[in-house]
Amino acid sequence: MLTHSKLKKITNNKKQAKTTELEEQIDTTKELLNGIEDQEERKAHLSHVYTLLAIRHISEPKTYMAAMKLPEASHWDAAARSEYKSLMDNKTWILTTLPNGRRALLCRWVFVVKCKGDGSIDRYKARLVIKGFLQKYGIDYGEIFSPVIHMEVRRPLLTIATLLDLEIHRMDV
């Protein structure tokens, strides 16, 4: 019978084999690059190396406990502490007592590895996020606020941008 620990071991072995295979491909491609004199051909091969570096497996834990069990635990802990300090410095929340019959929203850590253009690790990033999907309409909140720019404001901005030959980008945040 396949137990959870056996399945986990098989998965880890497959990840390790995939990482080793990618590293071998990167080394082979780097050796090839040294023998190429044509700049365009060299750029094409270099692009291949960067792609391989970008897809190389980097473990991003799903929970704080999982992060603390990884070899990079000190990096994840520092990232989480930095995020917590930032939240406290910016006075993101106010501690208060809950009204009777109400419950506080839960939160969780989200961990991400940020990479440089060449695929090397830039930094370890941690974010503390609220599980907003647990809210119930009419109980935890009454309305949703979404700021929208009015046409009276949009037209003059578009006119100015056109007159100054500026580029306009639409964003959804």
Strand, helix or coil at 2?
coil
Q: The tokens of 84 are what?
A: 């917590």
Contact between 61 and 70 under an 8 Å Cβ cutoff? The reply is yes
Q: The tokens of 127 are what?
A: 């974010």
Residue with tokens 């690059």: 33
Average pLDDT for 123-137: 87
Residue 127: name the closest of 67, 87, 75, 74 by CA.
Answer: 87
Residue 12 binned pLDDT confidence (cut-offs 50, 70, 90): low
Contact between 76 and 61 under an 8 Å Cβ cutoff? The reply is yes
Dump pLDDT digits (tens) for 78-112.
999 999 999 999 998 888 888 888 888 889 999 99
Dump pLDDT digits (tens) for 26-48.
677 666 666 666 777 767 766 66
pLDDT at 109: 95
pTM of the model: 0.52
Contact between 123 and 111 under an 8 Å Cβ cutoff? The reply is no
pLDDT at residue 53 above 80? Answer: no
